[in-house]
Structure 1
Amino acid sequence: MPALGGMGLARSKRVPLRQCVGCREMKPKRELIRVVRTPDGEILVDHTGKKSGRGAYICPSADCMAAAIKTRKLERVFEQNIPAEVIDAIREELMRRCPPKT
C-alpha cells in the first residue's frame, strides 16, 4: 500500500466558500465582495479580504445587492445602521467587477 505522501496521490486544493447575504448561496470567497465592521465600529468594503473584524459577503450582482439592502441583512449582520457612503462603495465595487454590458 503506498504512503499518503507518495506518488500518484495528489491532493486537491480546498476552495474557501462563503455565503452571500443577499441570495444566501455558498460561493468561492474570491468571487464575493467583503464588507467588514472593524473593531472600531467602522463599516467599509474590504478589497484585500484581510482586514480584521466582522465580515459579510455579497455576490457582485445587482440582485444580491438589492436584496441585501431591501431586507436590511447587512444591518442585522453588523448590528448597526450602514452609512450611505458604504452602500455607495459596495455599488462602486459591483460596477468595477461587473461593468454594464453595452
Structure 2
Amino acid sequence: MARRLAKVHDPSPFRGKSRPKAGDGAGPVRTCVACRQEAGKRELIRVVRRPEGGVALDPTGRASGRGAYLHATAECIELARKRRALDRALGTAVEPAVWSELTRRS
C-alpha cells in the first residue's frame, strides 16, 4: 500500500514565482511608511538618512544612505509624524526642518 504524504502549508503564496507589482508594471514599486500602500517609486517622496549624519529629502532618489518612502499628501505626512514611522524606518530622529519641508511639498 502506498504511503500518503501530508499536505504541507506553504506560508508564501508567491514561493517560486515572482511577486505581483502594484501599478501598471512600469518601474520599481515602493511602500509608503505611513499608510503602507505600494506605489510607483516616482509617486513617492524619498527621505534619506545620510551616512555622514542627518536626514534630508532626496528628490533624485539616488542619494546614498538609508531611505524611506512617503506619499506627498498631508494625510500621509501627518500619519508618519504621529506614528513616528520615518523615525523608525530611518533609525534616527527626523528634525523639524525636514517635517516642515515635507509639509511644504504636500
Q: TM-score, normalised by structure 2?
A: 0.73
Cα distance change of structure 1 residues 88 and 15 upon mapping to structure 2, 3 Å threshold: same
Q: For residue 89 of structure 2, what is the aligned residue in structure 1?
A: 77
Amino acid at match of 2:47: V
Of 50, 55, 65, the residue aligned with 1:38 is 50
Q: Distance in 2 between matches of 1:93 and 1:35?
A: 13
- Report the residue type matching 1:49 in the other structure: G
2:28 is aligned to 16
Matching residue within 39, 61, 70 for 1:27: 39
Aligned residues: 83
**DSSP-derived class of the 1:45 partner:** strand
Deviation at 1:42, TM superposition (A): 1.5
Structure with bigger RCO (C-alpha 8 Å, 6+ apart):
1
Unaligned 5+ runs, structure 2 = 1-23
Q: Distance in 2 between matches of 1:64 and 1:14?
A: 23
In structure 2, how many angstroms separate the alpha carbons of the residues matched to 1:24 and 1:44? 21
* Greater Cα radius of gyration, structure 1 or 2: 2
The list of structure 1 runs, each at least 4 consecutive aligned residues, that deviate by more than 6 angstroms after superposition, is none
Per-residue CA shift, 1:46-93, capped at 9, x if unaligned?
A: 011110010000011111111100000111111211110011111122
